[in-house]
Amino acid sequence: MDLRLITEAENLQGKYVLVRASCNVPLDKGVVCNSFRLRRALPTLEYLRLEGARVIVISHIGRKTTDSLLPVYEALNKLIPISWGGRITDPAFATTREAMNDGDIVLCENLRQDTREESNEQSLVEEIAKYASIYVNDAFAEAHRDHASTLGLAQVLPAYAGITLAEEVIELMKVMQPQSPSLFLLGGAKFETKMPLVEKYLNLYDHVFVGGALANDVLKARGYEVGTSLVSDVSLAKAPFLWSEKLLLPLDVIVDGPYGVATKLLDQVAKEEKILDVGPETVLMLESYILKSKTILWNGPFGNYEQGFVEGTEAVAEMIAKATGFSVLGGGDTVASVEKLGLNKKFGFISIGGGSMLTLLEYGTTPVLQALCK
């Protein structure tokens, strides 16, 4: 992929540059609890600042129009000097922008507070584009979303790839053709983004393990009781992969409910109980696959880690760190749940992308990335 890199752009001094960054980070009680994506935003911001550009950072957080990037402003400001720009569509932003000096960085409010962001409406694209002469996309985590800030702006302004976005593409291309034996581990809760990928990855990888909340859908379709567990509204009963021999599923699970927290085999889950993690038998089963795999790709935690159901996810992270195969992991929540283990250097590559990482590996590109190519 021949990306137009921001480091190739000339004369940035004094220019207004819009940077689409991936600031969709997990929050705990209104405070950023994992800053991996913010740290990965720094190389491009630092570069532009030193070049003397006037940097307007745009991003999204969460999925509700009430979600705010203010907690991100607090956290990012500790890593690099920035100021708060408020909503870029508020008339007051024009004054904020006028007051910017060379090298200043302003972070604007969550673009998804405006519903035109996700529907990529031209009116929003124009309202934002008028504030800058250059657009940089460093938001690899949203490279699979055709939104105003990820695709629309690239079509009306000179568009460049940010430093982190370009690095992501180079590193992830390395696992597009996995070396056999290969293992794909998929967890988390984004049913609509991730379930369609299972079929594809069953063709690409030797084995695919589905865990986390996603597994509940598969177990339900196989006829198991999943109680009050998180499931999607879509039934997988007719999914072609349901009984695939390459598909690995949890053997046991950790449940919580009226009888307390317990480890259960699949046929022991009661209808009042909720599956919240994978169990120790599952971890043991995965160990044998992980240790022999030459390529390991992992996205999505295997339990509700925010509520303390971390054992399955942490055990898998430790095993991957020990394994000799090349490993790639990614996903906002996946990284948040394993970063505290201090194993980062033991993985081959950690992507800021979750769904975007999987989409790139599946298709080799996305419309958003295409818009940044020469």
By CB under 6 A, name the binding residues for ligand 3PG: 22, 24, 63, 141-142, 145, 332, 354-355
Cα distances (Å, whole numbers) of residue 24 to 96, 264, 353: 24, 34, 10
Residue with tokens 């599956």: 275
Type of residue numbered 200: K
Minimal CA–CA distance to 331: which of 346, 313, 308, 311?
A: 313
Residue 193 Cβ vs Mg ion, minimum distance, rounded to whole Å = 9
Measured from the CB atom, the residue of 114 and 333 that comes closer to ligand ADP is: 333
Please tell me the distance from the alpha carbon of residue 348 to that of residue 329, in angstroms, as a whole number: 8
Angle at 69 between CA 66 and CA 71, to 5 degrees: 110
85 in contact with ligand ADP (CB under 6 A): no
331 in contact with ligand ADP (CB under 6 A): yes
Question: Of ligand 3PG, Mg ion, ligand ADP, none, which one does residue 63 interact with (CB within 5 to 8 Å by kind)?
Answer: ligand 3PG
Type of residue numbered 358: L
Instruction: Quote the strand ranges of 138-197, DSSP E.
Output: 159-161, 182-186
Candidate list 3, 300, 311, 338; residue touching ligand ADP; CB under 6 A: 300
Candidate list 224, 323, 332, 352; residue touching ligand ADP; CB under 6 A: 332
Residue 60 Cβ vs ligand 3PG, minimum distance, rounded to whole Å = 7
124: Cβ contacts below 8 Å, ≥ 6 apart: 89, 114, 116, 117, 148, 152
Question: Of ligand 3PG, ligand ADP, Mg ion, none, which one does residue 305 interact with (CB within 5 to 8 Å by kind)?
Answer: ligand ADP
**Could you tell me if residue 343 is left (phi over 0), alpha (psi between -120 and 50 degrees) or otherwise beta?**
alpha
Measured from the CB atom, the residue of 9 and 33 that comes closer to ligand ADP is: 33
Measured from the CB atom, the residue of 227 and 353 that comes closer to ligand 3PG is: 353
Residue 33 Cβ vs ligand ADP, minimum distance, rounded to whole Å = 12
Residues engaged in binding Mg ion (CB under 5 A)? 332-333
Residue 202 Cβ vs ligand ADP, minimum distance, rounded to whole Å = 19
295 in contact with ligand ADP (CB under 6 A): no
Measured from the CB atom, the residue of 54 and 194 that comes closer to ligand ADP is: 194
The bridge status of strand 134-137 relative to strand 159-161 is parallel
Six token digits for residue 219: 């177990």
Q: Check: CB of residue 88 under 8 Å from CB of residue 131.
A: yes
Question: Of Mg ion, ligand 3PG, ligand ADP, none, which one does residue 24 interact with (CB within 5 to 8 Å by kind)?
Answer: ligand 3PG
Query: What are the phi and psi torsion angles at 95 (to 5°)?
Result: -70, -45
Measured from the CB atom, the residue of 178 and 332 that comes closer to ligand 3PG is: 332
Instruction: Quote the strand ranges of 62-164, DSSP E.
Output: 83-86, 105-108, 134-137, 159-161
Measured from the CB atom, the residue of 255 and 352 that comes closer to ligand 3PG is: 352
Contact positions vs ligand ADP (CB under 6 A): 187-190, 212-213, 230, 275-276, 299-301, 303-306, 331-334, 354
